Amino acid sequence: MAGGDSAAVSAVEGRLSELSTNSDEKGLPRRGKSLSGRTLNTAQIQFVASHPEVYEPCDDSFALVDALLSDKAQLLTLKPRLCMEIGCGSGYVITSLAIMLRQLGSGTQYLATDINQHAVETTQATLEAHGVHADVIATDIVSGLEKRLHGLVDVVVVNPPYVPTPEEEIESNGIASSWAGGINGRQVIDRILPAVRELLSERGWLYMIALEDNDPLDICHLMNEKGYASRVLLKRCTEEESLYVLKFWQDASSGTNASHAARSPRSESSWLSQLPFRSLWHKNA
């Protein structure tokens, strides 16, 4: 590992250690409690749609949204052109992100995917209830979108299935698909990471939840080997688990940007028109 890479990983190790001794630095709102502090900046729980087969916003959802809020100024400076959530569930996170960045106007587009068709419909209802728009697609992670989105996504947010479960549970298309992570809770995460690396633009950022049992330090090591720097935005301890929100971005000093082909000025201005998202989701069509 190069000296710069070692320093980057050491910084993450230090942050993980620091958070382990100061995990209560930000209180975690429990499900059902008032979220009045987020009134103007996030989706409102009372307007988040629900379905028996769709994961409701809970501790991990709130932690991810809080991390995005803490990075809001940086996100506005980034001016992302395409934001994407993988595994959108109820739509709480992608809707919150769209609300946070609303001032960017039509220059920012939003896309969400979920393997659960009920989640697709629930997310769409949540978006509509808040007056924001995203294209919502029923697919496994990003299946079928890889070529069209290669190197085009500026922000990816993921609350992955991270709970350690028997391997067979990860085959579910219902609500179990929202939490069943297989061995060490890493089987789905380890499929998501390479897919996201292909989608991220050269200036792209990934925000992802990880459970302590998932070994977040190892995740950071793996991403570092692929040329990504990392940061722990926050850690939250609940009654049942310790959650980390990790942020990843390409490290310019690593020189590993060759996987993203250069795009011409013409493609920069017309890429969205080439993506037939609306044809992929047929509610009320």
pLDDT tens for each residue of 43-98: 999 999 999 999 999 999 999 999 999 999 999 999 999 999 999 999 999 999 99
**CB contact at 8 A, 160 and 87:** yes
pLDDT band at 284 (very low <50, low <70, confident <90, very high): very low
Q: What pLDDT band is residue 264 in, cutting at 50, 70 and 90?
A: very low
- Asked whether residue 33 carries a pLDDT value surpassing 90, the answer given is no
Residue 31 Cα distances to 2, 17, 104, 158, 251, angstroms: 44, 28, 30, 19, 36
Interstrand relation of 153-158 and 200-211 (parallel, antiparallel or unpaired): parallel
Average pLDDT in the 30-47 region? 62
Query: If you average pLDDT over residues 147-161, what whole number do you get?
Result: 97
State the virtual CA torsion across 265, 269, 271, 272 in degrees, nearest 10.
170
Largest CA distance in the chain: 55
Report for 10-19, 32-41, 135-144, 263-272: range of highest mean pLDDT: 135-144
DSSP secondary structure letters along 54-81: SPPP-HHHHHHHHHHHHTHHHHHHH--S
Q: What is the mean pLDDT of the chain?
A: 81
pLDDT of res. 267: 42
Sorted by where each starts, the structural domains of the chain and their CATH numbers stand as 60-250 (3.40.50.150)
